[in-house]
Amino acid sequence: MLSLADALVARASSYGAAVIVNDRVDLARLSGACGAHVGQEDIAPAAARALLGADAVLGLSTHTPAQLRDAAGAPVTYVAVGPVFGTTTKDTGYTAVGLDLVSLAAESTARPVVAIGGITLDRAASVIGAGASMVAVIGDLLAGGDPAARVRAYAAELGRA
């Protein structure tokens, strides 16, 4: 896993891209990744921050209003909310939270809010409209068989082209 993370960080660097390692703060630190993203069952955000340092990007997944309240005091860079819609990409153990939780997250934190889970090109604008700073997309990038074209379509739809 470390060899893969090292290779990914090196390749991303050549494109000016940053790597955020999911769930594995140790691999993020050892590989020199930009940061890590942790879930509710992973290492606590304070412990992750201590390992990564003050300048690293650190994200935290939330799925409920109570988790959003806890995230308010956590030393994280951004708060992720989801799954916003039903998704088969990853079983989080949580049902779809909908746009209301995205709005609550945006209202309750000064940090960027990343919406994830079931995001499609048709839904992305409504998620941003609900208060998300950005969307995380996995499965829908493969729609049509041309991920690069799909990314361009998202950029155009969200006015960032």
Burial degree of 63 (CB within 10 A; 0-12, 13-18, 19+)? buried
Q: Which alpha helices (H) appear in 32-146, and where do they start and end?
A: 45-52, 65-72, 98-108, 121-129
Which pLDDT score, from 0 to 100, does residue 21 have? 97
Q: Which residues of 123-137 are buried (b: 16+ CB within 10 A; e: fewer)?
A: bbeebbebbbebbbb
Task: Domain 36-157: give its CATH code.
Answer: 3.20.20.70
| Confidence (pLDDT) at 160 | 60
The Cα 116–Cα 132 span in angstroms is 10
Predicted confidence band of residue 93 (pLDDT cuts 50, 70, 90): confident
pTM of the entire predicted model: 0.90
106 Cβ contact partners less than 8 Å away, ≥ 6 residues apart: 113, 130, 131, 132, 133
CA atoms within 13 A on the CB side of 25: 20
Question: Are 101 and 114 spatial neighbours (Cβ–Cβ below 8 Å)?
Answer: no
5 Ramachandran zone, left/alpha/beta (phi>0; psi -120 to 50):
alpha
> Residue 122 gets which letter from DSSP?
H
* Segment 153-161 mean pLDDT: 82
Task: From 139, 116, 126, select the one nearest 60 (Cα to Cα).
Answer: 116
Quick one: angle between helices 65-72 and 98-108, nearest 10? 20
pLDDT at position 161, please? 42
pLDDT at 134 over 70: yes
